Amino acid sequence: MGLLNHSAELHVPARYKNYYKFWWSQELSCLKDNAIKSNNNWKNAGQPRTGPIADKRHADKHKYKRMLIKERRAETQCYTNDLHDALISKSGVSFWKCWKAKFEKQNKASRLIDGLTDDTQIAEAFAKYFQTTCTSSKMVRVTVFVLRLVIDRR
């Protein structure tokens, strides 16, 4: 089991790029909480189509969605402005630094697992490991299939 966890830590990202939204604000959190509360109240009231509970739910949801759209657009505007400023100032270094931070996938993980570097050999090592620890040969075939999918994604 240690081999699998070690490999996952090295090769499977725990969070995707830009998982943590720098543009998320306390105001968005409050609007989201209000939308969730009014939605729960609406459900508890029997999901009425009209009336003050339905109106409150709709208004809170609408406020939250509008603010979310506004903040997402501001995020895009921010990095395009950064790129534009770097081009205007003719700073190639800062332009490419900004470009790489926003658009390039960086894979810093090592491809060395138990002394193996070839993807096929690594997959076969996993298969052998699971074959010795699992009783079902179907489980081994499924695991090998999944591992090959993961390797092919790289």
Q: Is 119 exposed, middle or buried (0-12, 13-18, 19+ CB in 10 A)?
A: middle
For the chain, the average pLDDT equals 76
30 and 96 both lie in a single domain: yes
51 and 94 both lie in a single domain: yes
Note the pLDDT tens digit of each residue in 102-152.
666 655 565 677 778 787 888 888 778 777 776 566 666 666 677 777 676
pTM of the model: 0.42
33 and 74 both lie in a single domain: yes
d(CA 80, CA 33): 31
113 and 94 both lie in a single domain: no
- Asked whether residue 131 is assigned to any structural domain, the reply reads yes
82 and 116 both lie in a single domain: no
- Asked whether residue 79 is assigned to any structural domain, the reply reads yes
Domain count, the chain: 2
- Identify the domain containing residue 72 by its residue range: 26-103
